[in-house]
Amino acid sequence: MRHALTVLESIELALLPAEAAAVDADCYLVVDVLRATTTIATLFGGGLTDLVVCDNIELARERALSDARLLFGEVGGLPPAGFDHGNSPVEARALDVTGRRAVLFTTNGTSALCALAARGTVVAAALSNASAVAGAGARVRRVAVVCAGNAGGARFSLEDFAAGGAIVQRLVRLAPNAELGDAAALAMTATGYDDMLAAGLPQRAGRSNRLITGSRHARGLVGLGLGADVFFALEEDTSAAVPTVIETGTGWARLEDAVRS
């Protein structure tokens, strides 16, 4: 039985932010599972009031200083000099950010959010808030899941494709009659679960998790000693937040949690 508020008719998946420019949608779910959107979902889940994401580091520093905001982010996976915190969901979960405001700059995720900020409703999505964002996406006619990609959004990201596929699967469960674009259909077949028949083994194994942990980006984070962030990013529904762009300008976008707002 379909969710009472479900009106979803079509589901697309864009493999890169630039591809999303050719996709007409009412809602764009932007995925940078390692790690920006996972960190964003975690911060809002911890009570953050609002977040400014920036597509360049100097603007992030300026906004943090002028607005008295906490400054989060990474370059090459690590916190830049002068930043309060990195782009780590594990670190974010341990912080008390209730009632605080923050700025975030990252290599891929914040650029993707800024690039799409003026197009319809734009939401930061991850496995961490998969159920919440799928529920929000199912309330519009056309939804696009957008992979943030790597190299500043210029290259395909296996981990974002895998997490995006898991979100597509949740959308399909809410709207089984929705039409799937080609990439969304491919993601459906590539992700989900394998049934295990051998005695003594877990009876279901998550293909999405295997793809994420096997990605080049994940291996790089493990090499930096950030493996805990990778495994945190695999955990589903640790946050009920729906971080949504409510204001945008040149090089920045401001998000609030639509659930609380």
Q: What is the DSSP string of 80-91?
A: PTT-SB-S-HHH
The pLDDT of residue 57 is: 98
**28 is a domain residue:** yes
Cβ neighbours of residue 58 closer than 8 Å, sequence gap 6 or more: none
The helices-and-strands tally (H runs, E runs) of the chain is: 11, 12
The pLDDT of residue 2 is: 42
* pLDDT in single tens digits along all 261 residues of the chain: 344 467 999 999 999 999 999 999 999 999 999 999 999 999 999 999 999 999 999 999 999 999 999 999 999 999 999 999 999 999 999 999 999 999 999 999 999 999 999 998 999 999 999 999 999 999 999 999 999 999 999 999 999 999 999 999 999 999 999 999 999 999 988 886 544 444 444 444 478 899 999 999 999 999 999 999 999 999 999 999 999 999 999 999 999 999 997
Cβ neighbours of residue 87 closer than 8 Å, sequence gap 6 or more: 35, 36, 39, 72, 73, 74, 77, 79, 104, 106
**1 is a domain residue:** no
Kindly give the interhelix angle for 158-174 and 216-223, rounded to the nearest 10 degrees.
120
In the chain, how many domains are there? 1
State the Cα–Cα distance between residues 43 and 168, nearest whole angstrom. 23
**90 is a domain residue:** yes
Q: For position 110, which CATH number holds? A: 3.90.1560.10
| Backbone dihedral angles phi then psi of residue 85, each to the nearest 5 degrees | -150, 165
pTM as predicted: 0.93
Whose tokens are 């459906």? That residue is 188
State the Cα–Cα distance between residues 242 and 259, nearest whole angstrom. 6
The pLDDT of residue 193 is: 54
The pLDDT of residue 192 is: 66
| Backbone dihedral angles phi then psi of residue 138, each to the nearest 5 degrees | -75, -5
At CA 113, angle to CA 109 and CA 118, rounded to 5? 170
State the Cα–Cα distance between residues 258 and 36, nearest whole angstrom. 18
The pLDDT of residue 5 is: 64
Max Cα–Cα distance, the chain, nearest Å: 60
State the Cα–Cα distance between residues 231 and 225, nearest whole angstrom. 12
**178 is a domain residue:** yes
Find residue 193's DSSP bridge partners.
Answer: 206
**48 is a domain residue:** yes
Task: Note down the domain range covering 215.
Answer: 10-257
**5 is a domain residue:** no
CA dihedral 184, 185, 190, 191 (to 10 degrees): 60
